[in-house]
Every structure is written in C-alpha cells, then in structure tokens.
C-alpha cells in the first residue's frame, strides 16, 4: 500500500489513514489556503512499526521520494549547510489527542546549518534559538532525556543574565545553551545528539510512532474511549518560523467561542515564538484581537480564512497558525472541541445560517453533552454572598467544589479516598492528566482558553477556570495567594465556576440548571435563554425522528411524575422491593416467620393495602401510559436483620434474649445463601412462597380498578423477574390470571393487564421462542443479563479488577455501563428474533442501566426494540439518542 501522501494528495475524509491533522492539512492545501508544503506518513505505517518493531518495507524509499519533492519545491535540501530546509515532525491521530503525543520542530539543524540559517535569516539569535529548541525537544522526546534537565539549564542561563524572559537571551547565550544541552544529551542518553539531518528525521518519525503508546496517551484514550489500536500518522512539514522577531509569532484561534458558540474572534497570540510556547502555556499570550493592531494585514487574512473554513466544514473550527515576518501560514485546523452548551447553540446557529439541516443539527450534539447541561450550578444568591477570590477565564462550564490540591499525584490520592478535589496549577501539561481526571475541577493561573488545561478539561466535560492571573500559585508549598493576601492551603475548600470564571473561598451551594428547569416544565422555552431554546429545538426534532420509545425506571409517584415531565412515555420498570422496606419490614418478618398458612395469610393481608396504595399513586402519575410493575425480585433475607449483628445481639443477651429474636436468627440462618444473586429470588420466590406474588397481583388489580372508578386510565403490565424456563413463567402467569379474574369478578371492572417477563438469564434468551408462548412482552434486564453472561458479580466487580481489565483492553468500557454488543448483545438479538418468531406482536424493551447509556440506546434501536427504560434523569438523554439513532 501507499504509505506516504503529499498534502496535495489527501483530503479531509482520509482521517483513518492520515490522521486528523494530516487529512485537514491536505484539505486546506486543496482549498488553496497558505499551508507550508509537506507530506503525511500513514497510520498504517505506524501500526506496522508498533507491531513489528521495524518500519514497513518500502517506507524509507517513499519518504526519500517525498522528501526530494519537498526539497525541490522549497529549493533547498534538508539541513543544507548554507541554506537549510528545516522540517517539523508532528503526530496526528484519527481522533485529536491534544498534547498527548510528540512533535519535534526544527529538524535539519546542526553545527553547520545553524550558520546557514543565521545567514539566510540575517538573524543569528533566531538561528541559535531554533537550534537550542531542536536539541531540547529531540533530547526529551526522541532520546528520552528528562525534560527538566533542559528546563533547569534554561532557567540557569536566564538567571545568569538577570532576566526571566527567554527573549532576553542573545545569540551568544543561546549558543552556550546549545553546548550545555548537547552535554546533557551525551550524559543522559548515552549517545551524542545526531548531527546528520536524515538520521534526525528518521529517529523523530519513530519517536512519534512510539509516542502512541506513551502512558499519558494510553490514559487519555481510555478516558475518551478512543480505540487503542488506531496508531498515529506522522506529518513532515516544511518549517515556518514564528520566532523570527517581533513581526513573527504564533497563535491558536476558534472560529466561534468554544464556550458559548458566539461568533467573534477567539484565540491567543504570542509574538516571536514557536507553536509549543502557546499551547503549553509557558509564556503569557495576548488576545487574538491584539493582532489587529500588531499586524492588520495578517489579521484580516486570518479572519477571511476562518470564514472560509467555517463555511467549508459547516462547523466551528479551531486553527493553529504562524506568522513569519508578516506572512501568515496555517499549521492546523480541525472541527473544534466545544463545551456542551456551545454544541447545542452552534448546531442551532448553523441551522439558522442554512449551513446544516435539522437532522444534521441533531446529529451534531450528543446525549453525554445533554447530560452535562443538566448538572447543577452555583446558586447565584449564595455565590454573591460568598468570598470571591478572583475571576479567571471561563474555560469549561460547570460548578465544582472541592479541596484545593496542587499536584496530580495528590489529586489522585485524595480522590481515591472519596474526597472531592480541585486541581490547582500554574498551568497544566499532559503529565497532569491523571490528576485532571481525578479532580472535580481544574484551576490554573496562566494560559488562555486554548491552553492545555482548557482544551483537555472541555474534552472531558470537566469544570475549568484558567488564566486566573491574580493568583500566585506556589505548587511546592502547596498553596496559593489571592489578591488581598488571602492564602489557600492544600486541603481548604474552594468553589470554581467554569461558566463565569469565578473562584470562591469555601463551599458555594449548587442549584438546578435551567435546562433541567425547562425539562421540568418550570421554564418556558420562549422565556429561556439561547441555550434553552436550542435544547428545545433539538429535542423536538429528535422526538420527531425517534422510533424507539422512552420510558422510565421509577417506583414512587414523585419519580413517575418527574419522569413524565422529562418526556417518559410510561414506566418500563417499577421495582416493588422498596415497598417492603421501612416500617413494613416488620410485616416481611412476620411473613417469613409464619409457621402456619393462617399466619402467612395474615402477614400478606397486612401488606396488600399498602402495596395497593403505592400502585394507585404510580398509576395516577402515569395515567394513560403503560406502567410495567415487576413482582418482587430480591431474596427475602435482604429485608431481615444482618446475620452477624443479630447473632451477636442474641449471644450477648444470653438467657434473656427475646424469643422473637431467636426465631428471627434461626430464619436468617436458614435463608442465608452463599450466592444470593443466584439464589432464592425473582420468580423462584413466587413459586416457593405461596401467596406472595398473588398478593402483589391483587394489589395491582385493585389499584387499577380504583383508578378506573376515579375516572382514570390505568395501564398496568405485570412483569415476572429472573425467569429461566417457560415452565416457571407459566405457573406464575396462570396464578396471576386467576387473581385478575377474581378481582374483575369482585369489582366489576375489567382492567386488562399484559403479563410478561424479564429476560435476564442466558437461558431465558436462548429459549426465548418458548418463553414468548407465555409472555406478552419481554423486558431485557441487562444488569443481571450482563452479570450472568460474563459471570461478573454486579455488586463486587467494579472495584476489584475492572481497572486492570480496562488497562489490558479486555474491554474498553465496563459492560455494566455500555452494553457488550458481542456477548450480551448477541443474546438480546437471539431473544428478539426468536421471541418475535413465536409472537409477532411481542412488546420488547430494556430496563437495565444500559437503557440510559447513549451507545446502548443505539444498539437497542438497531435490534428493533420498542422502547428503552432508564432513570428519570436520563430520560432526556435517551430521547435525544433515540432520535440520533434514527438519523
Ligand atoms: C436488570 O437486571 O437489568 C434489572 C433491571 O433488574 P434489577 O437491576 O432490579 O436486578
Ligand atoms: Mg435484574
């Protein structure tokens, strides 16, 4: 296969092969935008290298050919002593992984060509500055030398000069620094810095390939659910220089505000600098609008290009550019990361501009983003009364409260103990990733909206305030000082508002988001702000497109009512076990301790009216919509006192022990199971404890009859849990039908109730054809189905070994979170197919946690379920994803 593509040969649709950066550089080249010439080595070459430890055959020759072409185009050779061509070697994967992989600039410089570069540029300082950057970057990223050694040497040189600005170092200082850097390389890399330009290039390419598996890249991929086996492309690009003096510089920009979507000029610019200086937040940048004053021509051209890009990509883009002595060059563009709020706003803005249609607008947002918008935020009144420490930039919205910590390690440590922490840094770099993941929010004192902290936090949906320059952050001493001399030590609580950029001392209470109030029906979309209106428009279209229905898992009238306001079209799972808790435990004890049929009947009779009232409330809240009520599922001993506690109590009391306690202890012992999840629960209880299920069915039927009498429209459905064989279901169904007939007789009200089952055991899925003979509906209980298919205990497993499994790539995400398509999903498919073969009008739903997980909702759409059911708060997310799945 072809392993190297010139920028003129690629395009934006080749992201798999050329990575995002390479594909978009090619796209811009073909749009006629000013992109320095270059070529891209494919991800395929990377995958080969990572697998075999050597470059694929033919790659060296292809690189030779493309390098020669590049040299011809530029009229100079790589590292040519009197006028060197220099190149950058940049990583670029299918999915953007900001700062996670390596880049090496200024390849082609050595002791001879540095003089040629100085002569050509007429600037000796510039040439030596570029050279010291090469030795530094190359030493660190290619030869694996500790980067701090170079930083310390650079600091020492500045100190000797009595300055803290890189730009105050002159050519002689930098020349000295190059010598020092080379010495550091010799000592710590066990080899000399390579002076052969082609060797530099080859080593840098391999280093970029290898950086795909750098620990921080691996962590980032896991976090962002990016597959581990894609590999990165490598872009070799002719260097243009932002460090050629004050008429040069480098910057980053967005075509719209990535936090709000508002149109305007958003970005940062740094004079006399090379790219890395901006993104790393090493030196303070100026707002991009300043460029209008500094270089009006380049500024105007940049705005034109941004407009071209937005119209071409029909989306918000972010870009990196460099100005070399007044000439603008585009170094990168991509469809930009944005906050959840901006995603909704931008989708509607582009819709209004006619750049995209309604389907596309719905496709442009995600359920995860919607979920983020539903997070609470700071209560404005309470925030006003709190001590405001400072205001930084609102880099990534949300409200975060936690203890200040000053290192990634400490963040991970405290978060591991269950504490909420805010990671406070001067600026972050890719090594801080683990701490950012662990923290509730991130606060930095330097760097703009495009700094590492901001970009990464936005990608993770994590609250971030950056560039709070008034804060003096002392990482070593683990404290920061705010204006007015307030000092915050590690462990003190602060609150940061990523929507306003405000930083408060202490804990500020949080309140519901306006999006939630809109879903609650408490905020009319017409009165809401632009965001609420955007959410409203997108949801309306998603609902219109969705084929899957959305129901809620709810077992109180309050939850049912809320779910209904959130758009649920019924209840897919009403768990009845909470109805056996609290004061009612006494009655459950009586039931279990009953020695005669009479005693048992009395206990059940006491429970029945309570259950009936519960059901009445829920049927009322969901009037006119289906309510699937599941008969009791958990093992009964869950409602009894703890075995050890009770045993101790009885033992301590000795001869004085309450006889009731003794009896109870006996029962607890008798009912004790080694594997209660695989024990006496679900349908098995119904078959073993006479009258239990019948009581529940009677309560449902009476509740429905009362609702009818009250003029309501109850639609109960009776669901039997943990069925593995049709015979189990038949027995319970026949009993339930008998009870329904009795109640009909008694009350004179005929309330039809479907009788169906959960599919939550592999055997149920595999014999679904038979089970459908006795079931009018199936609801996939994918919590138990995942547990029993994998043999993972749903209650223990997450803590025990999932971390290791994720690390090893056994799965990319917990199968309890996102439905495992290949295993559990296969069982679902079989059950759908065979169930419908038996009973074409079989109703099919899912009520495991997966019902509210975006990826799993798409699966449910694909296999043809009728509805998903999820917790009330996830209902809007499921509605949106149901719509997206249909587009
Ligand atoms: C399930 O197993 O997926 C389910 C919904 O039932 P529960 O979580 O109550 O076991
Ligand atoms: Mg279950």
Confidence at residue 350, expressed as pLDDT on a 0 to 100 scale? 95
Report the separation in Å between the CA atom of 300 and the middle of ligand 1, taken as the mean of its atom positions: 60
Least confident of 360-364, 430-434, 816-820, 866-870: 430-434
Confidence at residue 227, expressed as pLDDT on a 0 to 100 scale? 84
Q: Cα dist. 166→133, 200, 320, 425 in Å?
A: 12, 25, 22, 21
What confidence tens digit (pLDDT) does each residue in 87-127 have?
Answer: 999 999 998 887 778 889 999 999 999 999 999 999 999 99
CB 454 within 8 A of CB 280: no
- pLDDT band for position 459 (50/70/90)? low
Report the separation in Å between the CA atom of 779 and the middle of ligand 1, taken as the mean of its atom positions: 10
What confidence tens digit (pLDDT) does each residue in 508-557 have?
Answer: 998 888 999 999 888 888 887 899 999 999 999 999 999 999 999 998 99
Fold of the CATH domain 375-511: Glucose Oxidase; domain 1 (3.50.30)
Report the separation in Å between the CA atom of 611 and the middle of ligand 1, taken as the mean of its atom positions: 20
> Once rounded to an integer, what is the mean pLDDT over residues 831-851?
97
> Once rounded to an integer, what is the mean pLDDT over residues 354-375?
94
Tell me which ligand sits closest to the C-alpha of residue 780. Answer: 1
> For strand 286-287 and strand 317-324, is the pairing parallel, antiparallel, or unpaired?
unpaired
Backbone angles phi, psi at 433, to 5 degrees: -55, -45
- Domain 546-576+597-635+677-885: CATH architecture, name and number where available: Alpha-Beta Barrel (3.20)
Confidence at residue 797, expressed as pLDDT on a 0 to 100 scale? 62
3-state secondary structure of 269: strand
- pLDDT band for position 423 (50/70/90)? very high
* pLDDT value at 809 more than 70: yes
From 66, 452, 637, 850, the catalytic residue:
452
What confidence tens digit (pLDDT) does each residue in 584-619 have?
Answer: 888 888 888 888 999 999 999 999 999 999 999 999
Share of the chain above pLDDT 70, in %: 98
Q: Cα–Cα distance between 253 and 871 in angstroms, integer? A: 40
783 lines ligand 1 (CB under 6 A): yes
Confidence at residue 493, expressed as pLDDT on a 0 to 100 scale? 97
Question: What is the position in ligand 1's atom list of the atom closest to the CA of 783?
Answer: 3
Which candidate, 215, 485, 512, 575, places its Cα nearest to that of 380?
A: 512
Confidence at residue 167, expressed as pLDDT on a 0 to 100 scale? 81
Q: Where are the domains of the chain?
A: 4-238, 249-335, 375-511, 546-576+597-635+677-885
* pLDDT value at 281 more than 70: no
Mean pLDDT (the chain) is 92
Report the separation in Å between the CA atom of 573 and the middle of ligand 1, taken as the mean of its atom positions: 9
- pLDDT band for position 433 (50/70/90)? confident
- pLDDT band for position 719 (50/70/90)? very high
What confidence tens digit (pLDDT) does each residue in 681-713 have?
Answer: 999 999 999 999 999 999 999 999 999 999 999
575 lines ligand 1 (CB under 6 A): yes
Confidence at residue 280, expressed as pLDDT on a 0 to 100 scale? 55
- pLDDT band for position 52 (50/70/90)? very high
Q: Cα dist. 227→47, 184, 232, 862 in Å?
A: 13, 37, 12, 22
Q: Is 288 exposed, middle or buried (0-12, 13-18, 19+ CB in 10 A)?
A: buried
* pLDDT value at 282 more than 70: no
- pLDDT band for position 242 (50/70/90)? very high
Share of the chain above pLDDT 90, in %: 74
Place of tokens 């009912």: 671
What confidence tens digit (pLDDT) does each residue in 369-403 have?
Answer: 998 898 878 888 888 889 999 999 888 888 999 99
* pLDDT value at 276 more than 70: no
Report the separation in Å between the CA atom of 721 and the middle of ligand 1, taken as the mean of its atom positions: 8
744 lines ligand 1 (CB under 6 A): no
Pick the CATH number of 4-238 from 3.30.540.10, 3.90.550.10, 3.40.50.2300, 3.30.1490.20: 3.30.1490.20
Measured by CA distance, the residue closest to atom 1 of ligand 1 is 781
Max CA pair span of the chain: 106
Backbone angles phi, psi at 266, to 5 degrees: -125, 120
Q: Cα–Cα distance between 473 and 410 in angstroms, integer? A: 16
> Once rounded to an integer, what is the mean pLDDT over residues 397-424?
94
Three-class SS of 136-161: HHHHHHHCCCCHHHHHHHHHHHHHHH
Structure tokens at 158: 């500045």
Range ranked top by mean pLDDT from 217-221, 226-230, 490-494: 490-494
Measured by CA distance, the residue closest to atom 4 of ligand 1 is 781
Confidence at residue 307, expressed as pLDDT on a 0 to 100 scale? 94
Confidence at residue 198, expressed as pLDDT on a 0 to 100 scale? 95
781 lines ligand 1 (CB under 6 A): yes
Rg, C-alpha atoms of the chain:
33
From 317, 348, 574, 847, the catalytic residue:
847
794 lines ligand 1 (CB under 6 A): no
620 lines ligand 1 (CB under 6 A): no
Confidence at residue 450, expressed as pLDDT on a 0 to 100 scale? 64
Confidence at residue 228, expressed as pLDDT on a 0 to 100 scale? 85
Confidence at residue 799, expressed as pLDDT on a 0 to 100 scale? 54
* pLDDT value at 201 more than 60: yes
Do 546-576+597-635+677-885 and 4-238 fall under one CATH topology? no
Confidence at residue 278, expressed as pLDDT on a 0 to 100 scale? 60
Report the separation in Å between the CA atom of 556 and the middle of ligand 2, taken as the mean of its atom positions: 18
> Once rounded to an integer, what is the mean pLDDT over residues 304-318?
95
- pLDDT band for position 770 (50/70/90)? very high
Confidence at residue 503, expressed as pLDDT on a 0 to 100 scale? 96
Angle at 799 between CA 798 and CA 805, to 5 degrees: 65
- pLDDT band for position 582 (50/70/90)? confident
Measured by CA distance, the residue closest to atom 9 of ligand 1 is 575
* pLDDT value at 725 more than 60: yes
3-state secondary structure of 234: strand
What confidence tens digit (pLDDT) does each residue in 7-19 have?
Answer: 999 999 999 999 9
Q: Cα dist. 191→145, 181, 182, 195 in Å?
A: 11, 13, 10, 12
845 lines ligand 1 (CB under 6 A): no
Those residues whose C-beta lies under 8 Å from the C-beta of residue 252, and which sit 6 or more positions away, are: 267, 268, 278, 279, 318, 319, 320, 321, 450
Pick the CATH number of 249-335 from 3.90.1570.10, 3.30.470.20, 3.40.50.9100, 3.20.20.300: 3.30.470.20
Whether 46 is catalytic is no
427 lines ligand 1 (CB under 6 A): no
572 lines ligand 1 (CB under 6 A): no
Q: What is the ipTM of this complex?
A: 0.99
| Per-residue burial over 127-160, b = 16 or more CB atoms within 10 Å of its CB, e = otherwise | bbbbbbbbbbbbbbbbbebeeebbeebbeebbee
Confidence at residue 277, expressed as pLDDT on a 0 to 100 scale? 67
Q: Cα–Cα distance between 89 and 39 in angstroms, integer? A: 10
Confidence at residue 847, expressed as pLDDT on a 0 to 100 scale? 96
Structure tokens at 568: 């649920």
DSSP string, 748-762: ------EEEEEE-SH
Measured by CA distance, the residue closest to atom 8 of ligand 1 is 783
Whether 464 is catalytic is no
Measured by CA distance, the residue closest to atom 6 of ligand 1 is 781
- pLDDT band for position 474 (50/70/90)? very high
């Amino acid at each position: 296969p072809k392993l190297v593509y010139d920028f003129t040969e690629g395009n934006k649709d080749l992201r798999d092969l050329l990575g995002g950066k390479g594909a978009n550089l090619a796209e811009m080249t073909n749009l006629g935008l000013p992109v320095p010439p270059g070529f891209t080595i494919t991800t395929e070459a990377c995958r080969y290298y990572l697998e075999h430890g050597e470059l694929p055959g033919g790659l060296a020759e292809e690189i030779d050919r493309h390098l020669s072409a590049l040299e011809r185009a530029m009229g100079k050779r790589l590292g040519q002593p009197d006028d060197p061509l220099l190149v950058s070697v940049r990583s670029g994967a299918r999915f953007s992984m900001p700062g996670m992989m390596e880049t090496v600039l200024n390849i082609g410089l050595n002791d001879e060509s540095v003089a040629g570069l100085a002569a050509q540029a007429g600037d000796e300082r510039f040439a030596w500055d570029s050279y010291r950057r090469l030795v530094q970057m190359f030493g660190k990223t290619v030869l694996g030398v500790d980067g701090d050694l170079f930083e310390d040497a650079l600091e020492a040189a500045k100190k000797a000069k009595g300055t803290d600005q890189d730009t105050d170092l002159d050519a002689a200082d930098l020349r000295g620094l190059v010598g020092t850097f080379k010495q550091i390389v010799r000592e710590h890399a066990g080899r000399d810095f390579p002076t052969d330009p082609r060797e530099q290039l080859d080593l840098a390419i391999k280093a970029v390939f290898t950086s795909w598996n750098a620990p921080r890249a691996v962590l980032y991929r896991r976090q962002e659910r990016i597959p581990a086996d894609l590999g990165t492309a490598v872009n070799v690009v002719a260097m243009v220089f932002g460090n050629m003096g004050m008429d040069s510089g480098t910057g980053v920009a967005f075509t719209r505000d990535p936090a709000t979507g508002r149109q305007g000029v958003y970005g940062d610019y740094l004079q006399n600098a090379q790219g890395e200086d901006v993104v790393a937040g090493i030196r303070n940048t100026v707002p991009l609008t300043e460029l209008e004053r500094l270089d009006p021509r380049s500024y105007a051209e940049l705005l034109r290009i941004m407009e071209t890009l937005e119209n071409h990509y029909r989306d918000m883009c972010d870009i990196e550019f460099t100005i070399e002595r007044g000439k603008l060059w585009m170094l990168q563009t991509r469809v930009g990361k944005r906050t959840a709020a901006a995603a909704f706003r931008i989708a509607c803005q582009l819709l209004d501009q006619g750049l995209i249609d309604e389907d596309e607008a719905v496709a442009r947002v995600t359920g995860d983003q919607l979920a983020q918008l539903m997070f609470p935020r700071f209560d404005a009144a309470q925030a006003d009364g709190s001590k405001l420490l400072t205001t930084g930039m609102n880099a990534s919205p949300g409200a975060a409260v936690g203890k200040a910590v000053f290192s990634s390690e400490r963040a991970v440590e405290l978060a591991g103990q269950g504490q909420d922490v805010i990671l406070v840094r001067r600026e972050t770099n890719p090594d801080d990733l683990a701490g950012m993941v662990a923290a509730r929010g991130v606060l930095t004192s330097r760097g703009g909206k495009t700094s590492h902290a901001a970009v990464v936090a936005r990608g993770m949906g994590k609250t971030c305030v950056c560039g709070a320059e008034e804060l003096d952050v002392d990482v070593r001493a683990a404290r920061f000082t705010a204006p007015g001399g307030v000092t915050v030590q590690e462990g003190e609580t602060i609150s940061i508002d990523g929507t306003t950029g405000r930083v408060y001392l202490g804990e500020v209470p949080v309140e519901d988001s306006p999006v939630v109030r809109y879903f609650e029906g408490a905020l009319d979309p017409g009165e809401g702000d632009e965001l609420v209106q955007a959410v409203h428009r997108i949801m309306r279209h998603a609902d219109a497109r969705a084929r899957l229905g959305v129901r809620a898992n709810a077992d109180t009238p309050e939850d049912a009512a809320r779910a209904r306001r959130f758009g649920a079209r019924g209840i897919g799972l009403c768990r009845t076990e909470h109805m056996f808790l609290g004061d009612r435990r006494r009655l459950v004890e009586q039931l279990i301790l009953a020695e005669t049929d009479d005693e048992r009947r009395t206990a059940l009779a006491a429970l029945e009216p309570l259950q009936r009232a519960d059901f009445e409330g829920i049927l009322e809240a969901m009037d006119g919509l289906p309510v699937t009520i599941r008969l009791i599922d958990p093992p009964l001993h869950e409602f009894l006192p703890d075995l050890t506690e009770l045993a101790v109590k009885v033992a301590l009391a000795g001869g004085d022990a309450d006889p009731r306690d003794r009896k109870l202890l006996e029962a607890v012992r008798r009912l004790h199971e080694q594997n209660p999840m695989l024990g006496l629960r679900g349908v098995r209880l119904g078959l073993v404890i006479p009258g239990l299920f019948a009581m529940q069915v009677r309560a449902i039927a009476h509740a429905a009859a009362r609702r009818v009498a009250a003029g309501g429209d109850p639609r109960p459905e009776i669901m039997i849990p943990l069925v593995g064989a049709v015979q189990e279901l038949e027995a319970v169904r026949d009993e339930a039908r008998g009870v329904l007939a009795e109640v009909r007789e008694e009350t004179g009200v005929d309330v039809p109730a479907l009788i169906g089952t959960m599919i939550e055991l592999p055997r149920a899925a595999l014999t679904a054809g038979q089970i459908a003979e006795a079931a009018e509906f199936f609801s996939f209980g994918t919590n138990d189905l995942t547990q029993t298919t994998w043999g993972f205990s749903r209650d223990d497993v997450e803590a025990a070994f999932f971390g290791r499994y994720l690390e090893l790539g056994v799965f990319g995400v917990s199968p309890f979170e996102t439905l495992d398509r290949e295993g559990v999903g296969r069982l679902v498919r079989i059950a759908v197919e065979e169930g419908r073969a038996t009973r074409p009008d079989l109703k099919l739903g899912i009520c495991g946690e997966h019902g509210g997980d975006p990826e799993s909702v798409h699966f449910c759409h694909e296999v043809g379920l009728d509805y998903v059911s999820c917790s009330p708060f996830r209902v809007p997310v499921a509605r949106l994803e149901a719509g997206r799945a249909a587009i």
